[in-house]
Amino acid sequence: MKSNYQPWEVNIDDFPEKENFNSQIKFILRYAILAPSTHNTQPWLFKIKEPECEVYYNPKLVLPEADSKTRDLHISMGCCIENLILAAKYFNIFNSIGYGPFSNKEQLAVVHFKKYTGEKNSAYEKMINTIPKRINARGIFYPESVPEDVLNNISFIVKDYLVDEIHINWITEKNKILDLSHLTADGLKIAYHKTSFRKEMSYWMRNSFTKTKEGIPGYALKMPPVLSFILPILVRWYNIGNFLSKKNYSSISSAPLVVVITAENENPSVWLKVGQLAERLFLEFNGYGWQTSIFVAAIEMGRDKEVQKIIGNNKKPQFLFVVGKVDSLHKPTPRHELEEKII
């Protein structure tokens, strides 16, 4: 592995076939750390114990205002775990995964590996090559609809993820998308009305030229470079919820597809599996050339019942994102190097 590598510069051809187990596990962890996370906090930690890797979350990165239930933290961790599993399956070193419970509550999973034989599983090649290309797209979406055959293909691929009464809701009706856009906008207004939320949010906002390895740079919000320097200050001291809610409303309402993941129950175990499903969906859509964008304000700000009514599903909404094509894509958000996440 190059000593000066950039986290997003990972290529399957660099897999250390002739090196030890530890090096091979570290290589596939480079895919795990490219998962999305709330405010780009990157809450994952890893402990390698050959032939296993324990997966933990960092309690210092819990967001009490934006994610009071830690739902989104566990979903982020599920996305990370899914990338890890997909990479391990491609190189045929995945054996199994255990979800605990563990004596340390911050440990969420342990992934068991098997010896590399030199044979790769080509069925996962598209997925593993898509991981470094996935971003959380922002902007206005083209009106082009997602083809039904794409939805059918993806539905078939992810059917095994629908455990614990987890369900995928494809929302394509324009009136329902507009209603969900209104709920998201209202959720943002509720959030930004709280001084404590704004303080937390501003802490994770970065200017577009940041060298910081975590947080949300302005370019990822489609902010002009100059505004990206001012926005964290504005967010901290002023309620600009109306402005931000209008921007989010415009983005969601333009999307041809809204995806709402619901579940019969909600707890950390379910949220991990929701995260794994969400990441696989992101990668599948991206693999077909469709961008994805996460919007969870309606769910996190207590508008669950309204979401249920709109989508016609009495299960509990856990996660929401949109699918479409935007006119331009920003560069990936910053990432900590893998070594900083190994304990």
pLDDT for 100 equals 85
CATH of 12-133, one of 3.40.109.10, 3.40.190.80, 3.30.450.40, 3.40.50.300: 3.40.109.10
* Residue the block writes with tokens 């080509």: 122
29, 338 contact by CB (below 8 A): yes
Position 165, amino acid: E
For 261-292, letters b (16+ CB in 10 Å) and e give bbbeebebbbbbbbbbbbbbbbbbbbbbebbb
For 168-190, letters b (16+ CB in 10 Å) and e give bbbbeeeebbebbbbbbbbbbbb
Domains 12-133 and 148-324 share a fold: yes
The pTM is what? 0.96
271 vs 19: CA distance, rounded Å? 35
168: closest CA among 188, 189, 154?
A: 154
What are the residue boundaries of the structural domains of the chain, listed by start?
12-133, 148-324
266: closest CA among 192, 165, 140, 179?
A: 165
205: closest CA among 239, 229, 189, 187?
A: 229
Backbone angles phi, psi at 65, to 5 degrees: -90, -50
Residue ranges of the chain whose pLDDT lies below 50? 1-2
CATH architecture of 148-324: 3-Layer(aba) Sandwich (3.40)
pLDDT for 4 equals 62
In the chain, the largest separation of any two C-alpha atoms, in whole Å, equals 58
